[in-house]
Homo-oligomer: A and B are copies of this chain.
């Protein structure tokens, strides 16, 4: 996993990590809070967080013995940019792209896994 985009796609290629991002979209959370919904060990979550951190998708603070995580969606823009190059291949008319995304935006769906 040498390049930026591969690191990003790789970080997103795991349902647990995407679920963590979805949780963080609702606000900051500690490692224990993030781990709570999952049937795996805290240490495994810790590893997932390290992957997300390396990809720049989260940032971690330090508050007493807690390590609060925050979502950083910035890098997702790089992914969106890459995908945008292919939109004309799934949209019948190139200029319908805007409409499509405007509609998505109107739906105002909350991020979730």
Mark A residues whose CB is within 8 Å of B: 1-3, 5-6, 9-10, 12-15, 18, 21, 25, 71, 73-74, 76-77, 79-87, 89-90, 94-95, 97-98, 101-102, 104-105, 109-112
Residue of B nearest to A57 (CB): B86
Contact residues of A: prevailing secondary structure: helix
5 inter-chain pairs at a CB distance below 8 angstroms, sorted by A residue, are A5-B18, A25-B85, A73-B87, A76-B89, A80-B83
The residue of chain B having its C-beta at the shortest distance from the C-beta of A10 within the complex is B13
A9 to B6, CA, bound (A): 9
The 7 closest A-B pairs by CB, nearest first: A73-B89, A9-B13, A85-B111, A10-B13, A9-B12, A84-B104, A73-B90
Is A101's CB under 8 angstroms from B86's CB? Answer: no
Nearest-neighbor residue (CB-CB) of A84 within chain B:
B104
